[in-house]
Amino acid sequence: MIKLINDWYTRHFSDPQVAILAFLLLLGFGVIYFAGNLLTPLFAAVIIAYLLDGAVEFLRRFKIPQFIAMIFTFSLFILFLLVVIFILAPLMFKQTTQFMLEIPRMLAEGQSVIMMLPEKYPHIISQEFVGEILTSIKSNITALSQKFVSLSVASVVDVFSFMVYLVVVPLLVFFFLKDKKLILSWFRSFLPRDRALVATVWSEVNGKITGYVRGKFMEILIIWVISYITFLIFDLNYALLLSFTVGISVLIPYVGAIAVTLPVAIVAYFQWGYSYETVYVLTAYAIIQFLDGNLLVPLLFSEMVNLHPAAIIMSVLVFGGLWGVWGVFFAIPLATLVHSVMNSWPRRVHNG
């Protein structure tokens, strides 16, 4: 057994570059896993700066000086942040509160509809089965209400931390954009000189992750705006809240689109019942999902991320379980990293 382990180690880690790559990967995953909550503002600032740097480089193509391009991009980011905080967030909170207050009425109407099912379909649905369904729904709603209250209390406690983040994160983003070359040069000074394999893997992964993250951000915004306009046209209640949910749902491929259909259908049903308006809204929602999967995604991502659907779903489950929302958002880039490392990892071919 010891000989087998020794042979395996020699076969895969005898090259110093492979050892360096493995160490950096373990160090990165270890820092994120054990210190992720503590370093959340830093990670958020790095991700935002990473996104904004593409806009800065785009402006540089038009011979705009680096500092002016950076200031312009950062100013647009601050403007977007202010719009979110002072316009979108209050509207979202208002609609969320209204929706929570409407839940008892929806439950009462839904209960009356369910209670009528045994009378209409006595040979298919029994009274006992309906009673079990109603009991299950009430218990789940109670649990959700308690969780919502606990989250509200926790959010009040974390208000101070949130206010600090609002100041710290934009400052970090500004300095990351301003001193990008100095920071990268300082980071490289800690790496060994013989890092060709690390550079190869990073070059491949960086290109894919850059395109994916920026493309996914654009996809969220486009789907959010299109869904919001569509729901406004049909005068659907909670249009901003539901459209935001639809936009965020693209973070989880395949599953997100199916899961978010339920709240859209519930709101439409309790607003109009069995009517043409409900059918029109659900049809428009289905068209948006179809165009997203068959037009928008191919345009934004093309062949950028060539992963099997099963691998994508597994990466969402694994990394989402490890790092929550951030893990879900970066599930596909992280899966791409793993895929690139596996492809670049040196292999020894043994004859005989």
Its pTM stands at: 0.71
Grade residue 346 by pLDDT with cuts at 50, 70 and 90. low
Q: How many CB atoms lie within 10 A of CB 220?
A: 18
DSSP 179: T
Instruction: Give tens-digit pLDDT for 248-266.
Output: 888 776 677 888 888 899 8
- Which has more pLDDT, 194 or 214? 214
Averaged pLDDT, 75-96: 90
3-state SS of 36-58? CCCCHHHHHHHHHHHHHHHHHHH
Angle at 84 between CA 78 and CA 88, to 5 degrees: 160
Q: How far is CA 171 from the centre of its chain?
A: 23
- Which has more pLDDT, 145 or 106? 106
Q: What three-state secondary structure class fits 309?
A: helix
Q: How far apart are CA 193 and CA 246, in angstroms?
A: 47
- Which has more pLDDT, 99 or 255? 99
The residue among 324, 20, 13, 11 whose CA lies nearest residue 202 is 20
Instruction: Give tens-digit pLDDT for 120-178.
Output: 777 777 777 777 777 777 676 666 666 665 555 455 546 666 777 788 889 999 999 99
Instruction: Give tens-digit pLDDT for 165-190.
Output: 788 889 999 999 999 888 888 877 77
38-52, 217-231, 297-311 — which is least confidently predicted?
Answer: 297-311
